[in-house]
Amino acid sequence: MSEDIIWEQFKTLEEKVSQLIKVCQALEEEKAKLAAQLAETEKIANEKDSENKRLIEERMTIRGKIDSVLLKLEDVPSASNY
């Protein structure tokens, strides 16, 4: 092989390595963006879960109060008893 061919092959190899590095950098940037999106989505999901739990507890409290009022109403004599 002549020296020119060897240098041409090195140049081609260098260009391909450079392209590969650019692709890897782009993939790393995309990975970082996706990780940030995932973290934000998890944060929102956790907030929604907490809100759901709070609403369930509130519903249970209200249901308990309604049951209490209904029990008190059962103790009130009806108008037909008079």
pLDDT along the chain (82 residues), means of 10: 88 97 98 98 98 98 96 79 58
For position 80, what pLDDT does the model report? Answer: 63
If DSSP codes are grouped into helix, strand and coil, which group holds residue 14? helix
Give whole-number Cα distances, 43 to 21, 33, 40, 66, in Å. 33, 15, 5, 35
pLDDT at 39: 98
What is the predicted pLDDT for the residue at 79? 61
Structure-block tokens of residue 63: 């249901």
Q: Cα dihedral angle (35, 41, 47, 50), rounded to 10 degrees?
A: -100
**Nearest partner of 32 among 45, 47, 20, 40, judged by Cα:** 40
Would you state the structure tokens that stand for residue 53, as one six-digit string? 């739990």
Q: Can you give the pLDDT at residue 57?
A: 98
Alpha helices in 1-82 (DSSP H): 3-75
